[in-house]
Amino acid sequence: MSFAHGFPFDPSYGYSLDALLAVEPPPEPADLGAFWRTRYARALEVEPNPRLRISDETHPGFRVHNLEYSSTDGFPIRGWLLTPRVGAPQRGFVLGHGYGGLEVPPYDLPREDGVYLVPCFRGLGRSQRPPISADPNWHVLHDIDSRDNYILGGCVDDVWVGVSTLLLLFPELAGHVGYLGISFGGGIGAMAMARDARIARGHLNVPSFGHQPLRLALPSIGSAAAVQRCVGTQSRISDTLAYYDAAVAARSIRQPMHVAAARFDPVVAPPGQFAVYNAIPGDKRLFVLEAGHLDYPGRARQTQDLLAELWAFFAPL
């Protein structure tokens, strides 16, 4: 799979589809499970105290509310809550955005009968707060030398507390919560779903943070490049990243999963994306994208095909 491009490297990295499907996750730290169980238990103790108000944003199928809730360490998370204009919601979703953040809530949603909680992860979009940089090249480095304080851990917390918020607002949807995450939000979602059984089904689109050793080795124009520039100056970075590997986390996912992984992607290297899919041990479906983080001739058609698959995938939710 290849496209005309001006990148100084091959965003397919020379991998055939068979080779991508053979990428295995790296080994995990011996105390990985204990680390994440402790973190999850702490997140469950948080009182989100959600605040809602009608938004100026409009959506043809949903009422849009501005949302704010309190995550771990009292961090204020802001975003949106979308509720169906017609009928009561039959299922709920937490959405995880990419590193570009969100200016407005998304329009391409797979189910019209769901309620969507759309948080901006800490430090990004509506949840910006100094000294955390909203620039992905710096955000991804925030406290990267500390396993316990690394920014990605806080973002996983934001998903877990987001689920708590959704269930506080709609307790009748317990057992009917799904997750949709793209790129940054895909990798964060894999880590969140590995520990949170309240999320019954999930979709990860071009997930980041898969197979950290490969992510540090393969050229990229995404956040991985910033980490690569930094890793030579701080030896503790690789130790931290071992705990924040979406492919390693995917080994522990037990929910049915749908993954869209790209064969050509200059921002999130495809071997890392496929490592996430390959590591999921149970019920899983794969949608192969021609490219990720890139416009290409078949993109609109693939987007519509993907949404149709997701409509069906989340029907049992």
Q: How far is CA 160 from the centre of its chain?
A: 12
Q: What is the number of other CB atoms lying within 10 angstroms of the CB of residue 312?
A: 11
Determine the average pLDDT of the residues in 61-65.
95
CA distances from 64 to 168, 180, 312 (A): 18, 18, 24
Mean of pLDDT values over 10-33: 97
**Residue 3 falls within a domain, yes or no?**
no
pLDDT at 9: 93
Quick one: pLDDT at residue 230? 86
Q: What is the pLDDT of residue 112?
A: 94
Q: Which strand ranges, in their side-by-side order, compose the sheet holding 284-289?
A: 51-54, 62-70, 76-84, 114-119, 91-96, 177-182, 199-205, 257-262, 284-289
- Give the domain extent around 207: 19-313
Check residue 234 and give its pLDDT.
60
- Structural domain includes residue 10: no
Residue 72 pLDDT grade (very low, low, confident, very high; cuts 50, 70, 90): very high
Mean pLDDT of the chain: 95
Into how many domains does the chain fold?
Answer: 1
Does a structural domain hold residue 8? no
Confidence at 6, pLDDT banded by 50, 70, 90 = confident
What are the tens digits of pLDDT across the range 252-310?
999 999 999 999 999 999 999 999 999 999 999 999 999 999 999 999 999 999 999 99
**What pLDDT band is residue 2 in, cutting at 50, 70 and 90?**
low
Give me the pLDDT at residue 1, please: 60
11: in domain: no
CB distance 127 to 211 below 8 Å: no
Distance in angstroms (rounded) separating the CA atoms of residues 311 and 307: 6
- As a whole-number percent, the residues of the chain with pLDDT over 90 amount to 89
The count of C-alpha atoms lying within 13 angstroms of the C-alpha of 171, restricted to the half-sphere facing its C-beta, is 1
Instruction: Work out the pLDDT band at 75, boundaries 50, 70, 90.
Output: very high
Q: What is the CATH number of the domain that holds 247?
A: 3.40.50.1820
The whole-number average pLDDT for the span 184-199 is 98
Dist CA 196 CA 199 (whole Å): 6
Give per-residue pLDDT as tens, 94-142.
Answer: 999 999 889 999 988 999 999 999 999 999 999 999 999 999 999 999 9
Distances in Å between the alpha carbon of 271 and those of 24, 42, 222? 9, 33, 15
Report d(CA 206, CA 229) in Å as an integer: 23
Residue 14 lies in a domain: no
Q: Hunting for tokens 């940054």 — which residue is that? A: 184
**165 in any annotated domain:** yes
> For 228-263, what is each residue's pLDDT tens digit?
988 865 668 889 999 999 999 999 999 999 999 999
Residue 123 maps to a domain: yes
